[in-house]
Amino acid sequence: MPRPRVTSSFTSSPVSSPLAASLRVPAIIGEGAVTFTITEQVTKGAAAGTDTLAHTATSIVRVGNFSTTRDYSLTTDYLLTGGAVDWSPGGAEPVTGAKYFVTYTYAKVTADFAPQMFTNFNDILKAYGPVLLDNSGVLKPESYITMAAQIMMGPGIGAQTLIISQINPTVAGSPAASDFTGALTALSNSIGAQNIDPYYLTPLGGRLSDSDVSVVNAAYLNHAIQMADPQFRKERRIYTGVKKTATINTVITAAQALGLDQVNSGRLTLAANFDPTLTISTNTGPVSTTLDGFFQAAAIAGFRSTQVCSQPALNKLLPAFDGYVTTYSSTQIDTLDDVGAMVCESVGGTISMVNDVTVNVVNDIEKSIPTVETRDVLISSLRRRLKSTIIGLRGSPAIPSQIERITDGYLEEERGNGDIQAFSPSKANRQPNSITKFTVSFSYLPAGEVLEININFSIDLNLV
């Protein structure tokens, strides 16, 4: 039997545009504070009168002689009347003409929900509020945008620019699929004075119903496909996730519904996580909170936006999180790989990404995220060995020659001990005692970026 013939090469990805990192700007779509909180200096009017504010207040946080004090009491000294400070109760009040401070909230208007571009996290804090946890240590919904932005712009990821689109739920406190899909219209256009197009889109859909999550993920995938059409010529990559406590079967079903094991993996990445944990600083000290898979997806999108396109991001660390509530076994990772999910794993307390690999087999079935799955143990075993090789080399120029050497040696080893005689591309099509040429090509595609590594090998098999 002839020796295996193994070749490998680097080519440009057919599903990517060679955009520089400055043009691969991530966008997050989700819930944020629906009010602004500001401190305003006010000049006291007539005694027992009403002082108007720059905005119509929906609530007053404090009133003081200084910007950080609470010197006057609601009800006893003043009232909130028609969005203004009403001093009619007859209690203590500043003297007429004196300066005092009012910290209050006021409602956002329609324009405040439009997509905006940010290069400074402090500006995001002003627009969407701080990160807040409830008494149980659960992230409050109004803090979703700020939390995702903090993760994406923080140490170890460091996205320089973010586009943020806050949804405005039709029903307050109950986001629906339509709130997230409606945001896509605005995101079809360039954002900001520099006319930047969002490249990575992540919907923060952890509070949606299961059915609405499916609707949103499908809609965002269709958006990416549509925007790549020559009519628009705008590339989009969708990074999305799953809800808290989602089972592995939930992830598998979602990935299969989106066709991620076939042709759609270059447009949408489904982060298969089991609930990342993160430590938040609060007034009472650090508190550990558990997030959902959409924050995991946002972290990956932010990470990708900072990488050099021409180099594979192999097994890169993802330092945004402390760990996971539940981790995957190697068998589960392989299963998730096979259906096209992006797996993050925690090994020895270090979180890293298991990388995207597209595989084409001879019958033209295309699969994504490392799987050869020609239904035979030989190819499954070889895929795992090649995967570890790619990860271990971490983008080295030696990848092609190393892959050729390891593949050739492994196939020769299997042929020598007789095991190779038992395998073929398709058990259903075997012709006993015949010789069939079997060809497989791997394509390593780092999360929809520009570089592909192609690995090809062929063997003449005696089918038994």
Specify the amino acid at residue 54. Answer: A
pLDDT for position 90: 94
Residue 32 · residue 145 · CB < 8 Å: yes
User: Hey, which CATH number is domain 21-34+110-355, 3.30.540.10, 3.40.50.11780, 3.40.50.740, 3.30.450.20?
Assistant: 3.40.50.11780
Residue boundaries of the structural domains of the chain:
5-16+359-462, 21-34+110-355, 37-107
- Tell me which of 38-42, 126-130, 155-159, 453-457 is least confident: 453-457
Residue 255 · residue 261 · CB < 8 Å: yes
Q: Using 50, 70 and 90 to split pLDDT, how confident is the model at 131? A: very high
CA distance 106 to 58: 5
Residue 170 · residue 183 · CB < 8 Å: no
Residue 181 · residue 160 · CB < 8 Å: no
**If you write DSSP's letter for every residue of 371-383 in order, what string do you get?**
---SSSHHHHHHH
pLDDT at 267 over 70: yes
Q: How many CA atoms lie within 13 A of 182 on its CB side?
A: 13
pTM of model > 0.75: no
Which range among 71-75, 127-131, 313-317, 450-454 has the greatest average pLDDT? 71-75
Which range among 282-296, 365-379, 431-445 has the greatest average pLDDT? 282-296
pLDDT for position 264: 72
Alpha-carbon dihedral sign for residues 165, 168, 173, 177 = negative
Residue 300 · residue 320 · CB < 8 Å: no
Percent of the chain with pLDDT over 70: 65
Other CB atoms within a 10 A radius of the CB of residue 147 amount to: 26
**Of residues 85 and 443, which shows the higher confidence score?**
85
pLDDT at 398 over 70: no
What's the average model confidence in pLDDT over 20-38? Answer: 85
CA distance 244 to 60: 35
**Of residues 406 and 132, which shows the higher confidence score?**
132
